[in-house]
Amino acid sequence: MTNSKGTAVKDAAAAAVAELPSLQGAADSLFRSSAECCRQQARISRVLDLHCDQEELEAVIEVSVLCVRILNDAITRYAALGSDSHDGLDDQCWHAANTLWHASREYARRHQSCNVKSAQMSRHSATQLGALAIEYELKASAVLALRYAVDQYNKVRPEIS
């Protein structure tokens, strides 16, 4: 027996998505993925500040890595759809979405770079630790830029948050 209420909800959700231009849907998805990455970075900071145990920290980092994978998919989808036209987006929304796209790409790149450099270090010399510290500072800067881009997109499309 099918659940008519569940089916009606799914049909309404599909209709709502179908009404949006495909680029608008991709931009909104990019916004939500970016916002979640920002939330996860804030969560990591709180866990570190609270000196939680290693297992909890590893779990939070695992969620953060998953969020970045989802963000990368959203980045790729937006880039594929946005390369041809504005697809019905007004100029203000299009500019905010492109700013978000650029900030998301930089954040994902810095996140990956930090993970790679951290994994490569088995022994830490002062020079290596200095280089790693710089990578994390650049990542922190990318997080701030991403938060700003998320806020700007949210101002243009407040109805999606």
pLDDT in tens, 85-128: 777 789 999 999 999 999 999 999 999 988 877 766 666 666 77
pLDDT of the residue at 87:
74
Q: How many domains does the chain have?
A: 1
Is position 17 within any domain?
no
Residue percentage of the chain with pLDDT more than 70: 82
Q: Say which CATH number the domain at 38 has.
A: 1.20.1420
Residue 11 in any domain: the answer is no
Q: For residue 55, what pLDDT is reported?
A: 95
pLDDT score recorded for residue 5? 59
Domain presence at residue 8: no
pTM over 0.75: yes
* Per-position DSSP letters for 77-101, written without gaps between them: HHHHHHTT--TT--HHHHHHHHHHH
Residue 151 domain-assigned (yes or no):
yes
Q: Classify residue 5: in a domain, yes or no.
A: no
Report the C-alpha gap between 39 and 44 in whole angstroms.
9
- In this structure, is residue 99 part of a structural domain? yes
Domain membership flag for residue 15: no
Which structural domain range is residue 111 located in? 22-160
Residue 13 lies inside a defined structural domain of this protein:
no
Contact residues for 89 (Cβ-Cβ < 8 A; gap 6+): 21, 23, 24, 27, 97
